[in-house]
Amino acid sequence: MPENKMKFCPWCGNRLKMFEISGKERSICSDARCGYVFWNNPAPVVAAIVEHNGNVILVRSHGWPEGWFGLVTGFLEKGEMPETAVLREVKEETGLDGKVGAYIGMYPFYERNQLIIAYHVLSGGGEILLDSDELEDYREVPIEKVKPWPMGTGAALRDWLRTLGYEREFSKSPRL
């Protein structure tokens, strides 16, 4: 999991120190009056298996290795429910309106200290207008050909495919 790289308290500016709380080493403010504790809680992330014209939309973020594609994802914002967030992310990243078809599940992504909340989203049709600030490319892969990958959102895709009767082994990577 990502470590706390901060050296100073974001609330009062005093130096942070390590202290054991709830059986774990945590960064806390050196000023006992402040009370700041860096808990390092996972960030909630929504993921969408976007079904569009009989295909699954896979996207490629800037900086990903060549050929790697994944699900539409994004952070849950303050005051937002996951179902609302996943539809917002689909709209922002692909330009598609959609509706939640089903909740798929929750998946830990320890490498990024995230908790992924995955949904199947049915697009309302239309043209894909990729958000080029966030994404570099996309692919439309027929449902019967899409393969899950062993990390991040790949388990959600595998579980969704199972609901359709497809039993798929993980590919080696999210490379298409």
Beta strands in 53-93 (DSSP E): 55-61, 72-75
CA distance 176 to 173: 9
Instruction: Of 64, 40, 170, 56, give the one whose Cα is nearest residue 118.
Output: 56
Report d(CA 46, CA 113) in Å as an integer: 14
Dist. CA 86–CA 106, nearest whole Å: 13
The reply to whether 134 belongs to the active site is: no
Q: How far is Cα 112 from Cα 149, in angstroms, rounded to an integer?
A: 16
- DSSP conformation class of 5: -
**Among residues 93, 136, 144, 167, which one is catalytic?**
136
Token digits of residue 93? 């990243």
C-alpha span between 58 and 139 (Å, rounded): 5
Q: Which residues are catalytic?
A: 136
